[in-house]
């Protein structure tokens, strides 16, 4: 990322920034109904940001959100450790291929080390070549089958 860009974890008071990230996700995923049409109120978003198992990281260019990452810490039961699931990661189209997504993941890796998280994982659609290329350079690929039950 360039010097004028910054990456930081969102805090409980950053509900408006989280909303900005929702609009970045809507555009990136071409899914405005999911990310924009029925957004929760600020109280809900504040509670989510206060939840120690939820994490939102935003990338900024001149105080404007240009990318973001959200996900969940999953405490494990078989050992006293946790893993992290990247739920959404997107970068504004104007800022793609400039290292923003990589910077978000590198920032997440630092947080994971601080929190004692032993593994980070993410899913990608088979047809999303850009995401697969990004994740392939940062981690080990596993081919799994995903099922939506409900």
Q: What is the 3-state secondary structure (H, E, C) of the chain?
A: CCCCEEEEECCCCCHHHHHHHHHHHHHHHCCHHHHHHCCCCHHHHHHHHHCCCEEEEEEEECCEEEEEEEEEEEECCCCCCEEEEEEEEEECHHHCCCCHHHHHHHHHHHHHHHHCEEEEEECCCCCCHHHHHHHHHHCCCCCCCCCCCC
Asked, for residue 129, whether it belongs to a domain, the answer is yes
Asked, for residue 143, whether it belongs to a domain, the answer is no
**Over residues 32-44, mean pLDDT:** 95
Percent of the chain clearing pLDDT 90 (strictly above): 78
As a whole number of Å, the end-to-end CA separation of the chain is: 39
Q: What is the CATH number of the domain that holds 44?
A: 3.40.630.30
Q: How far apart are CA 38 and CA 36, in angstroms?
A: 6
Tally of domains in the chain? 1
Confidence of residue 5 (pLDDT cuts 50, 70, 90): low
Provide the mean pLDDT of the chain: 92
Asked, for residue 23, whether it belongs to a domain, the answer is yes
What is the extent of the structural domain holding 115? 5-138
User: Taking the model in full, what pTM does it have?
Assistant: 0.89
Which of 45-59, 75-89, 130-144 has the least mean pLDDT? 130-144
């Amino acid at each position: 990322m360039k010097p004028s860009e910054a990456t930081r974890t969102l805090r409980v008071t950053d509900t408006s920034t989280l909303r900005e990230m929702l609009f970045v996700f809507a555009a990136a995923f071409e899914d405005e109904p999911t990310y924009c049409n029925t957004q929760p109120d600020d109280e809900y978003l504040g509670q989510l940001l206060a939840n120690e198992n939820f994490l939102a990281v935003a990338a900024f260019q001149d105080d404007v959100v240009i990318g973001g990452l959200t996900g969940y810490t999953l405490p494990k039961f078989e050992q006293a450790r946790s893993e992290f699931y990247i739920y959404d990661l997107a970068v504004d189209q104007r800022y793609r291929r400039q290292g923003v997504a990589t910077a978000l993941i590198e920032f997440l890796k630092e947080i994971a080390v601080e929190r004692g998280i032993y593994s980070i994982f993410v899913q990608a659609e088979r047809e999303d070549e850009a995401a697969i290329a990004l994740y392939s350079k940062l981690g080990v690929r596993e081919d799994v089958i995903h099922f939506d039950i409900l």
